[in-house]
Amino acid sequence: MYWIFLIIFVIIVLVPDIVRTNFYLISETRLEEILIFFMGAVAFAIFIKNERQLLFHKKEKEKDKKKIEQTVKDLVESYSYIGEVNRKMDLLMNTALGLSDRSVLSKTHEKETYQSIVSATSFLLKADLASLRFVNMEDLKTKQEFRSKNSGELIKNNILAKMEEGINFKKNDDCLIISSGQKINSIKSYLIICGFDEKEESNPKNIEILKVFASQALFLYSYTHNEPKNCPPCACEKK
């Protein structure tokens, strides 16, 4: 491109030496002016075309840059999502393994397991408040409850009892209620989550994990609080 401008410049400089006579009715001076104007116009047209090409390439680079930035952002979100899913699976597995190890089911370990379920629940839905509650469905009294540090007054037991049979998931105002699939010895477990992330709540996998948590919690509670019933007199005496 620079060579073209150099050639045009040289031609313009040499126009007086190139044009030495009149051209038909056009005088020598007028012809020189026309040639100089024409060469200048050609140079200007080439300059404008080159400028547009540069502007076009600049816009294309900006588009490519935005695409790269968006790709990097998508990758970061994907890795973040994968990490979060792995974390959720770890929480689920750790809770399941903790419940399956009956040899260490002391009162302290039991409480820690309940508290870990509450923490996992808060993590899954990015919630402000979370609670795990065991309710006697005959008298609607709370047998035990474990809350996150920020939990205040949550949902009453009579509201929990209104959940229809077979329904394990319900919204109540700005709170979610997840119940165990069944009750054992009239006891049912409930996960109550308030101030949650709606995007996380819309993920069906999260809800399924919470249902598992509620059922596991009830299993642990029934195992640690189960007392022998209808025991034969001789067997009881031996105990």
Tens-digit pLDDT profile for residues 82-103:
666 666 566 555 555 455 555 5
Q: Of the candidates 153, 152, 160, 156, which has an alpha carbon nearest to the alpha carbon of residue 214? A: 160
pLDDT digits (tens, 9 = 90+) for 198-235: 888 888 888 888 888 888 888 888 888 764 444 444 43
On the question of pLDDT at 45 being above 90, the answer is no
Mean pLDDT value of segment 56-63: 87
In which element (H, E) is residue 192 found?
strand 187-194
Q: Which residues does 92 contact at the CB level (< 8 Å), separation at least 6?
A: 120, 209, 212, 213
pLDDT digits (tens, 9 = 90+) for 124-174: 888 888 899 999 998 999 998 998 876 556 788 888 888 877 778 888 878
**pTM (predicted TM-score):** 0.56
Confidence (pLDDT) at 115: 85
Q: Of the candidates 174, 104, 109, 161, which has an alpha carbon nearest to the alpha carbon of residue 133? A: 161
On the question of pLDDT at 197 being above 80, the answer is yes
